[in-house]
Structure 1
Amino acid sequence: MDGARARPIDAVAVLVAAGLTPPTGYTGATLVIVSAGALPLLWMRRAPLAVAWICAGVALAVPVLGLVAPSVIAPPAADALLWPPAAPFAAYGAMVFAAERRPLHRWMPVIAIAFAVLTLPDRLPLAGRSGAVIAIAVTYGLYVAVRERLRAELAERSERIERERLAGELHDVVTHRVSRIVLQAGVLALSAGDDRARAAAEDIRAIGCDTLDELRHMVALLRRGTGEGFDLGLPMPDLRPLVIDSARDGVPVELVVDGPPAPVSGMVGRTAYVVVEAALANVRKHAPGAEARVLVRYAPGTVRIVVRNTGGSPDAWVPATGPGMSLAELRTRVELAGGTLVCRSPGDGGFRVEATFPTG
């Protein structure tokens, strides 16, 4: 939470714990063991649970060795201030720097340290002082952990609010400019006397409309605070504008939605829109006079987009269309979105484009 590297305050904790060791009354090898238990405090930010277990091990080892060899290792002095000296720092580190771990993992070494303190029945004042200090360290550690978590949540909320504000400004400014481009291109397409100029103006208008749709989708992603491919809260883009444009160009389209709509990722939604757009463009280009049907079928975990058209009429009017997207390019884009694309001719002169995407 405060970083993994040791800081000067960690060195101060080591010095304080080492300074409290001599008053415990230990000498010789026992004093070295208890003093060495304070050194791992330098790493309590990087490995808080390991440091807590080392402290618990030292605290339990000393009483056990005292039972095995009482003539060599005596219990701590009754007038010592605290035992073991590193206990409150290790307990604090387990509560603060291992806050993301499971509660059982955090509490087990602290319980072991408290149990080691209770192994001094003939040193009840020392055990009481040590237990009280450890309890205070644990309580303060829990307070710091909650405070840091709330601080992180407030920072994330502030960042999200700022992101939403920037997304709104981006949408307002860019949408205004692109809308003017689309309107001017539409006027030019209606007033141009040359077919090539009219087709170019119509392409500019169509690209501008696509840009507005992409921008609207990206702004929704920004406002939801998730990245492309991870957002699961956006509905499928509205396909009715494609149906209206296709009917205006002489290809009537029936739009059918089957099943309860499910939210999809931003990338899946935009790719599905492109599939329908490219399929209808190919119908207008290669099968003028045909009728088309767009089916959006929601199933558990998937959404299927089917564009099927009948055979065209050779003498039908052919609208001016752009270069469009080849089936190979369309398949690549679908696969990048995690879906599959199947294109085939049913044998009645028509064509069928089917794309399946995951909704999860």
Structure 2
Amino acid sequence: MNATGSSRPRLHQSELTFGLLMMFLSVILSPIIDIFSKLAAVTVPPAEVTAARFIFQWLFALPMMAVLGQWGTWSLRRSGVHAIRAAVLTLSMISFVTTLQVMEVADAIAIFFVEPIMLTILSSIFLKETIGWRRYTACAVGFFGAMLIIQPSFQEVGFVALLPVVTALCIAVYVMITRVVSHSEDAWPMQFQTGLWGMVICLILLSIGHGTGWPIIDSVIPDGTAMLYLLGVGLTAAITGILTVHAYRAAPASTLAPLQYFEIVSATIFGWLVFGNFPDLIKWIGIFIIIASGLYILWRERRFASKPVSDTSGSTFAP
């Protein structure tokens, strides 16, 4: 037992450094998924882009399940829970890719980062976690920051500007379910089943939408360029997923969580390099407010909670 009274074994400095490095690389590379998604979504419907990401997740988890010999963890009851997780995740990803068709990558990701705020509120309601007035105030401030970004975007693209909020809400629900399931299941079977069910759900949606003219789910045969973009989506998602798994194995989630906000910085850089987009002053103020409120919530969680409500160690998904 260490000086704080915790029974958690003390981490070696090398492990902690490795975990931080893996997480930093993951969040820096994650916006590349969205860059490829935005490029692919010019000619490919969002549901098809989402399906490509799930297919790569499933294909990556398949050999790991075989190597680890974890096929025995499969059960009908657990599959039902994972189907729900996958459905929520599918909705979140389709919403985000739909947003990327008309919004700048950095703006969409910045709005999405109200997710820890939503998770804090939902956890207090459904998981009965104690949340003080300070964190509720930080949540309100964070939402105000999101509105600073949404308001000009809403004038430009309409209700699509609200879809990153839908994505954030879905991810918050997904993480809550993941937290409950992760107490009895390992990460790889969870990733395998999520990828499998997500792939099935997307294929069903694309089958229903084929030929209907609905731009979100009307499937198409990608041309060579679009296929490369879809390949980029899947490969980058797989790589960042690997990095995230190694990060959470090496360091506590509460230590890694603040690094997630570097994703906004890298998204801004990649968005500027690829599309020539750069946030204006008002949007930068909104981004700063969201980051500040999120970091304050994380600090309060680390100080007063044994496990932070923003712990997403069971998930390798982030838009």
TM-score (norm: length of structure 1): 0.23
More strand, by proportion: 1
> Which of structures 1 and 2 has the bigger CA Rg?
1
TM-score (norm: length of structure 2): 0.26
More helix, by proportion: 2
